[in-house]
Amino acid sequence: MYKINGKEFKCSVEITNEIFNDKWKLGIVWHLLNGSKRYKELSEDIYQITQKTLTVKLKELEEKKLIKREVFAEVPPKVIYSLTPIGKKLQDTLNAMNNWGIEYAKECGEITDNYVCEKKH
Amino acid sequence: MYKINGKEFKCSVEITNEIFNDKWKLGIVWHLLNGSKRYKELSEDIYQITQKTLTVKLKELEEKKLIKREVFAEVPPKVIYSLTPIGKKLQDTLNAMNNWGIEYAKECGEITDNYVCEKKH
DNA sequence: CTGCATCCTACATGATACTG
DNA sequence: CAGTATCATGTAGGATGCAG
C-alpha cells in the first residue's frame, strides 16, 4: 500500500496510471527524454497541443516533481524545462510503450511511413 | 507514421497512450496477466469499478483486440475474459510502470504496508 | 517569448435500478 | 451471473483574447 499526498494506492501500477491518465503528459516526458527544451520548442514539437494545455500540463508535471523549470531573466523571456532524476526513470516505461505501440500497429493497423517520431534514444 | 482504423499516429507511443488514456483499461489488463477471469472476479478484484464501467471497458478492450471473450451457455451464465497474444505483450509495459510506481512512491510518497497488489508475475 | 483569464463543450465515469 | 438502461456530473481539453 502506498500513500502519496494523502491519497492511497493499493498497487504501484495505479500510481503511474493516475499520473499519466491524460492526453499529453506522457508525450511531454517522451520529448524531454531527448534533452531540455524551451516552452516554445515543446509547443512546436508536440503535435497540436494548445498553449493553455501545455502550460497546465507542465505545471502538473512540475508539481509532481517529474520536471524542473528554470527561468532566465532575459528579454525576451527564456524558460527551460528538463526532467528530474525520477522523471528520467520513465525511460524504461516509455520505451516499453513505444515498442508495444509498434507491435500493435503491425498487428491491428498499418505503418504508412518510415518516419518514426523524432527520437534518438 | 501509423494508421489504425483510419486514425493517424505520428509516434508509436501515441498509440499506446491513446488506448490506455482512461482510468481502468490498464488495470484490467494487469489483472488478466495473472490468467483468465470471469466478469465477477474482475469486478471484485478491481477496486471500486462500477459494473457499467467494467462492461464498457471490457467491450473496448475486446474491440481493440486486446482481450478475448468466451461465453458458456450455462445457467447461471459464465463468461471468461482472457488476453490475446498482443494483449499479453503488454507485460513489459505494465512491469515497467509497476517498477516506476514503486520508485516514485519511495521518492515522493510513502509505502504504508508490505501488501503489494495481488500479483505473482 | 511565455504565459494567464474566460468561456465552453464533450465525454468519461458514477449512482442507481432493472433483467434474462 | 453477467450484464442494460437512465440519469447526472466533474473535469480535461479546446478556442480565443490579453499581458509582462
Domains of chain A, each with CATH number or no CATH: 22-108 (1.10.10.10)
Q: How far is the CA of B79 from the C1' of D2 (A)?
A: 8
HSE at residue A75, side-chain half, CA atoms within 13 A, is 0
Which band of pLDDT confidence, cut at 50, 70 and 90, is reported for residue A59?
very high
Q: What pLDDT sits at residue A113? A: 75
Q: How far is the CA of A16 from the C1' of D4 (A)?
A: 32
**Residue holding cell 469486478?**
B43
User: Which of A12, A14, A44, A117 is the mutation pick for testing B, counting most B CBs within 10 A?
Assistant: A12
pLDDT tens digit sequence for A27-52: 999 999 999 999 999 999 998 999 99
Average pLDDT over residues B36-40: 98
> What are the strands, taking DSSP E only, across chain A?
2-4, 7-9, 37-38, 67-72, 78-83, 110-111
Cβ B12–A96 below 8 Å, yes or no?
Answer: no
Beta bridge partners of B70: B80
Q: What is the pTM of this model?
A: 0.94
Does residue B115 have a pLDDT over 90? no
Work out the number of other CB atoms within 10 angstroms of the CB of residue B27: 23
Work out the number of other CB atoms within 10 angstroms of the CB of residue B54: 16
Distance CA A33, CA A61 (A): 14
Which band of pLDDT confidence, cut at 50, 70 and 90, is reported for residue B120?
very low
Q: What pLDDT sits at residue A118? A: 47
Q: What pLDDT sits at residue B114? A: 64
Q: Are B31 and B46 in contact (CB under 8 A)?
A: yes
Does residue B99 have a pLDDT over 70? yes
Q: Is the CB of A55 under 7 A from strand C?
A: yes
